[in-house]
Amino acid sequence: MTYQSTARTSERARAERLTHRFTELFGHAPHGIWRAPGRVNLIGEHTDYNDGFVLPFAIDRAAMVAVRLKSGSESTAGTADLASTYAPDGGDLSRARFSIDSLTPGSVDGWGAYPAGVVYVLIGLDGAEVPGFELLVDSTVPVGAGLSSSHAVEVATIVALNDLLGLGLSHPDLARLTQRAENEFVGAPTGIMDQSASLMGRAGGALFLDCRTLESEIVPLPLAEHGLSVLVIDSKVAHSHADGGYAARRASCERAATALGITSLRDLSTADDAAPATFSAARIVPGSAPNTAADAAPVTGPVPGAPPITGTPKTDVPELDPLDVLDDETARRVRHVLSENARVLETVQRLRQGDLSGVGELMTASHVSLRDDYEVSCLELDLAVDAALNAGAIGARMTGGGFGGSAIALVHESQLDQVRDAVLKTFADHELQTPDTFTVLPADGAQRITFAGPGCQEDVRRSGTR
C-alpha cells in the first residue's frame, strides 16, 4: 500500500469518528466533512506580503471540519454554533457561537474568530447568502508552532461553505478571501502564502507561488527518493501573527516601499524579469544578496544571546544603491526580502536539478538572513538550527513568521535520531522547555472527504475549482 492510499484510509477513519462525534453533539449528522492541511515553508519567509516568491508545502497534519447548514425553520437559523476538540481551558471540547448578521471585526475572539472571519468575508460577496450552521473542528496541526494551524481552520471552513452554498469560487479566490478574513476580521496582517499552500498543495511537491499574480506551479520535492526527511522542531515558544513584531516588520517594508517610490519591495528588484512567462524556468534575481550558507553574511551581530551558526563566516554583502536613502534597520529589512526572493528562485532551480544538498545550504542562508537582517528569530530557534546543523543536517532554518514557533531541518533518514537527540540535549543543557520533534511529508491540499448534499457522491475529491 502506498503512502497516499494509507493516508487516505486514515483520513476516512478520522472522518467517520468526527461524524460520530458531531452526531452525538448536535443530534444529527453533518452534511459533509472537509479537511485542510497546515504547511511548512521550505523557503521564502516574509516575502509574501511584499509580492514576492515563496516555496511552501502542505503537510500531513490537517484541520478537519464537519458542517451542517441550518434550515430557515430552525429557531437558531441565523446563528453559527461551533465546537472544537481544541480546548485550551480544559475539558474535551470548547464552544463558540455568533450571529451571522451581526459580525464585525473583533466581535468574536479565540479560535472561533477564524471560522467567523470566513463568514464575515463571504457575506460581503454579491449574491452570497450564508445561513446559520453547525461546525465541529478537529485539528492535528500544532497550535502556535508556526505551521499555520489557524489558516488550516479557515481554509477547511471556506471550502466547506464554498461547496455547501455552491459558490464556485476558485483556489485563488478562496486564498484571497481567507487572507481578508485574517487581515480584516482577526486583525493579523498576514500575506497570501499560508492559505495558498493549504489550498493548492500536492503530495510529493512544493508550491512555487508568485504572491503578486498567484501564478503557481508544483515543484517536485522527492525527499524519499533522496533518503531525506524534513524534521520539524517545535520550540514550544508560542507565536501569533496578531502580535506586534510581525506587524512591525510588515509596516517597515511598507514604509521602505513608500520612501523608494514603489508599490512594493518586489518592484525594487528585477525579480519579474527573472520569472519568465512559462513560470517553470526560475533564475536568480540579478544584484541580490548571497545565496549559499558559505556566503551568507550577518551584517550585524546575531540576536543577543543567540549562538553562532556553524559554517557561516562573515563576508561583505553587496550594497544596493537604492537602499542608501533608508536607515540601517530598514535597509536590512529590505535586503532580507530581496535576498530571500533570490533564494526561493535558486531553490526551485536546485530542486529541478535534484540538488537537495544545495537546497540545504539555501535554507541555512535563509535562517542567517532572518536572524540578522530581519531579526525575527529567537534563542530557541537559533539553538535548534545550530544543533541540527552540528549533528549532520544538510540545512536548517526557522519556518513561519518567527518570534517562536518551529524550525525545520533537512536530514538524511539515517541521521534522524542523532539530529533529534542533539536538539533535545541542547535544549536540556540550556534549561529550556523540551521541544516537540516530528517529521512531515508534502501532502495534498484542501479536500472534501464526504458530502451528503444532493447530486454529490461521497468521495474524496478536491474542493474548489482550479
User: Catalytic residues, which ones?
Assistant: 194
- Which set of grid coordinates corresponds to residue 180? 481578508
The 10 Å Cβ neighbour count of residue 123 is 13
Note whether 110 and 87 are within 8 A (CB): no
Q: Which residues 6+ apart lie within 8 Å of 122 measured at CB?
A: 128, 130, 158, 161, 165, 167, 177
Tell me the residue type at 49: Y
User: What is the Cα–Cα distance from 284 to 276, expressed in whole angstroms?
Assistant: 12
Which of these, 320, 345, 213, 336, lies nearest to 260 by C-alpha position? 320
- Alpha carbon distance, N-terminus to C-terminus of the chain: 29
Q: How many CA atoms lie within 13 A of 85 on its CB side?
A: 17
- CA nearest neighbour of 446 among 158, 130, 114, 147: 158
275 in Cβ contact with 282 (< 8 Å): yes
> Residue for cell digits 464585525?
104
